[in-house]
Structure 1
Amino acid sequence: MLQVMSAPSPGEPSTLMADVAAGDDEAFRALTEVLYGPALGTAMKVLGSRAEAEDAVQTALVKLWRTAERFDPAKAKVETWFRRIVVNCCIDRKRSLKPVDPIDEAFDLESDEPGPEAETAGLMRDKRVGDAVMKLPARQRAAITLFYGDGATMNEIAEALETTPKAVEGLLARARAELAKMLEGLREEL
């Protein structure tokens, strides 16, 4: 029996990426629409600031445009390849920034919360955890946010950080140990 493989639709990232590599501005705009939201979420988790994340994603999009012809669909999906670019831009950006207190823009105060005391305790806990994550070295922070925040696999994280899955395990273990030290006594305090 002959099996017919369907060609990717014109709006799929792999098709758009081929068009971007050929210099198609409209394909780049369409690909940006597909990639921007997930990339911004990842960058915000790594950098802790929406403004910094937006700048990092913009830098990553410029790199995508300039290096589109280097993309090899046999080696990775467009989304995975672009995530690696975003993470690298975030790490570079974090290294260039002076340490500042992160501003948590993600507080969502909804009326169906259990009550003001529980809400305040939860916000305080989240702030402490977020602050602790921001104190981790850039590669550990990237690994832990990709793993827990994005649900990325070890292989996806390894590809994004340009390392091996075994090295990712080490990054995660060190990040967890450091977070455990920084957050020691958190349960008792709250």
Structure 2
Amino acid sequence: MLRDLTDSAALMARVADGDTASFDQLVARLHAPMLRLALRICGDRRDAEDALQAALTRLWTHAEIYEAALGSVEGWFHRILVNQCLDRRRRLRPVVPLDEAFDIAASDPSPFDQADANARARRINAAMARLNSRQRAAIALFHGEGASMAEIATQLETSPKAVEGLLARARKELSELLASERTDTK
């Protein structure tokens, strides 16, 4: 995710001392990959941006509790962000219809292929939105971020074995949701 983990730890040490320039550098490194993760978990850009902002505020105000010996800055921040996203998912209001939230990017595929891809993405996003927040986070971390079972277990404060079960249940539920939608539309 980042170029030099020891460099991030050095930046973090300066952030703990109140160095705003180091904070700005750390934010520049963390922002894009962490926003992608927040979008996958929250499913809504506004909620994802709010969660990221809250996590960055927490990084600034709690920088002194970071311990380099316990893990990377990125891993520590990852956990803060996932917790912020999960908290937001728990307090969610009804999901905005995906038709209103989905941006169609101009691209080379034919209009038919683009429409098909958009419809598939809407079905998957709608099914993902129906998962519970922990299942959604596990799927986003595993398939979206490529995180290992151990990393996901750390983020979700559980065991790798529990993550395997969580992922299996999430995949099964997604499959059932998508299958039931296919039979509903016929």
TM-score by length of 2: 0.88
Superposition pairs of residues 1-190 of structure 1, within 5 angstroms: 12-103=7-98, 104-110=101-107, 112-113=108-109, 115-184=110-179
Equivalent residues, number: 181
Letter in 1 for 2:176: K
Residues 84 and 102 of structure 1, relative CA distance in 2, 3 Å threshold? farther
Alignment gaps of 5+ in structure 1: 1-7
Q: Report the structure, 1 or 2, having the larger helix content.
A: 2
Residues 129 and 26 of structure 1, relative CA distance in 2, 3 Å threshold? same
Q: Distance in 2 between matches of 1:9 and 1:123?
A: 37
Alignment gaps of 5+ in structure 2: none
Residues 45 and 171 of structure 1, relative CA distance in 2, 3 Å threshold? same
Letter in 1 for 2:123: R
Q: Distance in 1 between matches of 2:4 and 2:106?
A: 41
Q: Is the 8 A contact 1:11 1:30 kept in 2?
A: no
Superposition RMSD in Å: 2.3
1:18-66: per-residue Cα shift (whole Å, max 9, x none)? 1111221111111111111111110001111111111100000111112
Q: Which piece of structure 1 moves more, 100-109 or 82-91?
A: 100-109
Q: Distance in 1 between matches of 2:4 and 2:132?
A: 41
Q: Distance in 1 between matches of 2:83 and 2:124?
A: 23
Q: Is the 8 A contact 1:56 1:86 kept in 2?
A: yes
TM-score by length of 1: 0.87
Q: Is the 8 A contact 2:134 2:156 kept in 1?
A: yes
Residues 170 and 19 of structure 1, relative CA distance in 2, 3 Å threshold? same
% identity of equivalent residues = 46
Q: Is the 8 A contact 2:5 2:72 kept in 1?
A: no
